[in-house]
Amino acid sequence: MVTGEELFKSPPNKVCKPYQWLHKNYQQALSVVFAIDEINSDPHLLPNISLGFHLYNTYHSDEKTLESSLQWLTGQGPLIPNYSYGVKDKSVAVIGGATSALSVQMGTLLNLYKFPQISYGPFDSILSDKVQFPFHYQMAPKDSSLYQGVVRLIVYFEWNWVGLVVSDDMRGEEFLGEIRAEMAKSGICVSFTEKIPVSERTHMESHETFMPRISMSATKVIVIHGDTDSLMIMRYSGIPLVVTWKIWIATSHWDITMRPHYLDGHTFHGALTFSHLMREIPGFKSFLKAVTPSNYPDDILLRGFWLSAFKCSDQPEDPEQEICSPNSSLETLPLYSFDTTMSAFSYTIYNAIYAVAWVIHEIFLRKSEKISLGVDEYLEPHSWQLHYSLKDIQFNNSAGDQVFVDETKISVAQYAIMNYAFFPKEIDELVKVGQFVPKAPFGQDFTICEDAIVWGWMDNKVPRGVCSDSCGPGFRKTLLEGQPTCCFDCSPCPEGEISSQIDAEHCMKCPEIEYPNKQRDRCLSKVVTFLNMKEPLGMILTLMALSLSLLTVLVLVVFVMFQDTPIVKANNRTLSYTLLISLIFCFLCSLLFIGHPTTATCLLQQTLFAVVFTVAISSILAKTIIVVVAFRGISPESRIRMFIHPRMSIYVVLICSGIQVIFCGIWLGTYPPFPEADAHSEYGHIIIRCNEGSAFAFYCVLGYMGFLALATFTVAFLARNLPDTFNEAKFITFSMLVFCSVWATFLPTYQSTKGKAMVTVEIFSILTSSAGLLGCIFIPKCYVILLKLEKNAQEQMKNKRDSRGKLFSGGQLYTSSSGNNRLED
């Protein structure tokens, strides 16, 4: 059989050997001294009774915790369970268990003896199970809203790529599940999860190398949730002694200022930590300032702490250490060694001692009453007697806070958000930069002073704790296959769509009357546009139309003034006048295409243009037919002479133009043109234009004009070599060639252009083709009429008479013989 003494002969574990002083934890011991001294000096609480205490160290080890518990129960000597050396002391309660794991180790043994155990570590719902832990009490506030405060902080700084480090126990699992769910609601992704063993024994058994993984991860924001044991295991687990450039968010009982190495301060520079928000216990700081070994000469633990913390010696003959200064004070120690501000642990210990004192006080009062009534009863209370009163005890401490031992009445913790800064020469500090009060109204529950936060060494900008940089306006998020939603690429919005927000998941289209700007981050109002007479292009086309129409009027005036000359007579004055008037209207109808389209202008644009052009082409066709008939229908008995009639030219014009009028009437009666706003043809513009209505009717009208032009060109081409001084077949042939070329080019160009360019192409085609007819047919005649008078004489006509001596003038056929002219019927 292995005895307890043999079990604890070897060190609990070599990983933490030799044990080092964790100087900051000594405040917990001093809080016990402070509370005991305060209670013993209180004349109203436990009068005439003095409280004492024993201190045992757990060394953050399961084995040492069990060893200390056995040593307390058995006394100084071999550790034999259920056996006590010497006189049993008067201990009635145990205040201990900085972590859940240590509380369980202690409770396993203490429950056998029904000792009240009050833990001062973080509240753990597992320890509330009265079936497993019937004599265990918790006094720390509940951390049930801690995960909400952490997520609020992460959301505030717009971080979405966060690593989680938790203790490998049920409390860590509970926090992990809660914060994961809360992070998912806020669109925050977890980059990795690491679990820290809850004791050095489990750490050694697992052989985990979690610290290299944490430090080497690309994640810049890491949330750490654990207790003081997991803190020490993490600190002694190969953390690289280099600056990791990460933002650590520590929770409640994870004191980042405690460190075994100097450079650990660099690692946690800029960290944020959630500490329990509580009132200051009056007199505690003054008490700490007055604590010196000389004031407590019997406290050997204080002496050892003092020599280690101040790195001095109280032995003058020790050459390796400086003599401790008599003026040394705990407030001069750096933050990582000691903090004169009461910690959450010390605050809970203070309240726990007072809770035990009030319970004992009530027990003494009840027993004093019974003794006064003659009931023989021991005045000294037993430990098991405390259970009946502990769960019901409540009181106000010296800070004014109401204290409960009943776990159902314990309040939800409030938190102060502290910022840790590490400066050269081992100077560090914790500064309050915000707070989280869960029960406060929304908007007042979370406050943060961003300007007060110290972030990094290079600059003081808020780190970018994201997997992918935000997509700016004009871009949308494109999720990466197999990656969390926080990891994405940024893709530009498609043509015609915008995104005005950061990290937009979808781009949206602009309204019809708006269009995206070049950056595609907002919609701009489209410019309403049409071929305006006030703009340069409109002014040029208007000037051209008016100039050409004026020139045509001048040509008409010249022909009227010289109507009796041979050249005018020979080219059929009536058809010439008709052609010139139609050309005037051709030039002027182009003005209908310029300006803001209306219903009236849309109806007249294409139809008027088609009719007047048909009249012009019909006039030229009539001219050409008459010339051919005049020079090829020469035999008196020829049947073709029956078509030589003075009104035949009028019939040709009326019939050809009438057919076009019928086409246009059908067009206007079925699908007439109408004004419309085209918001798609030209980027950034709303084009007000005339829609043809029926494209088939439009191209039928153009096709009919093209048919007449080809017919005229064919007839004129056949008559181009007929002899006569005033034969204009050659000029008509060339004019029709120009006309057909222009409109053959018009069709593909018209189809390939949009907006104002389409209208411009049609106007230009109208002006060019009309100018071609005017220039090719009439300009040469005007040249002869005005400048070559000798060619416009009757003698010239006689000299150029054809072999049969026939001329055509004024729509009548003449024969000439021996210098005498006569009209042939």
| Lateral strand order in the sheet of 812-817 | 806-809, 812-817, 820-823
Closest by CA to 252, choosing from 233, 237, 231, 234, is: 231
Query: What distance in Å separates the CA atoms of residue 774 and residue 632, rounded to the nearest whole number?
Result: 27
Pairing of the two strands 415-423 and 427-436: antiparallel
Whether the upstream peptide bond of residue 438 has omega within 30° of 0, thus cis, is no
Closest by CA to 698, choosing from 665, 744, 667, is: 667
Query: What distance in Å separates the CA atoms of residue 123 and residue 137, rounded to the nearest whole number?
Result: 10
Pairing of the two strands 394-396 and 402-404: antiparallel
Closest by CA to 345, choosing from 20, 35, 19, is: 35
Confidence check: pLDDT of 633 > 80: no
Q: Residues 107-135: what's their mean pLDDT?
A: 88
User: pLDDT tens, 693-730?
Assistant: 888 898 888 889 888 888 888 877 776 665 554 456 67
Query: What distance in Å separates the CA atoms of residue 34 and residue 284, rounded to the nearest whole number?
Result: 7
Query: What distance in Å separates the CA atoms of residue 270 and residue 261, rounded to the nearest whole number?
Result: 17
Q: Residues 627-643: what's their mean pLDDT?
A: 60
Pairing of the two strands 312-313 and 272-276: unpaired
Pairing of the two strands 508-509 and 497-498: antiparallel
Confidence check: pLDDT of 742 > 70: yes
Query: What distance in Å separates the CA atoms of residue 246 and residue 267, rounded to the nearest whole number?
Result: 8
Average pLDDT, the chain: 81
Query: What distance in Å separates the CA atoms of residue 42 and residue 51, rounded to the nearest whole number?
Result: 11
What local confidence, expressed as pLDDT, does residue 252 receive?
Answer: 72
| Residue keyed to tokens 């021996």 | 818
| Residue keyed to tokens 């203070």 | 350
- Asked if residue 262 lies in contact with residue 411, where contact means CB atoms within 8 angstroms, the answer is no
Is 320 buried (19+), middle (13-18) or exposed (0-12) by CB count in 10 A? exposed
- Asked if residue 408 lies in contact with residue 420, where contact means CB atoms within 8 angstroms, the answer is no
Domains, the chain, ranges and CATH? 4-140+282-292+329-372 (3.40.50.2300), 146-277+413-452 (3.40.50.2300), 475-525 (no CATH), 544-594+609-672+695-823 (1.20.1070)
DSSP 591: G
Query: What distance in Å separates the CA atoms of residue 711 and residue 772, rounded to the nearest whole number?
Result: 17
User: pLDDT tens, 25-75?
Assistant: 899 999 999 999 999 999 999 888 889 888 888 776 777 777 778 777 777
Global pTM reads 0.68
Name which of 150-154, 509-513, 754-758 the model is least confident about: 754-758
| Residue keyed to tokens 């209370």 | 381
Query: What distance in Å separates the CA atoms of residue 98 and residue 229, rounded to the nearest whole number?
Result: 8
What local confidence, expressed as pLDDT, does residue 679 receive?
Answer: 80
Closest by CA to 649, choosing from 571, 705, 582, 574, is: 574
Neighbours of 448 (CB within 10 A): 18
What local confidence, expressed as pLDDT, does residue 822 receive?
Answer: 32
| Residue keyed to tokens 């411009």 | 760
Is 824 buried (19+), middle (13-18) or exposed (0-12) by CB count in 10 A? exposed
- Asked if residue 794 lies in contact with residue 566, where contact means CB atoms within 8 angstroms, the answer is yes
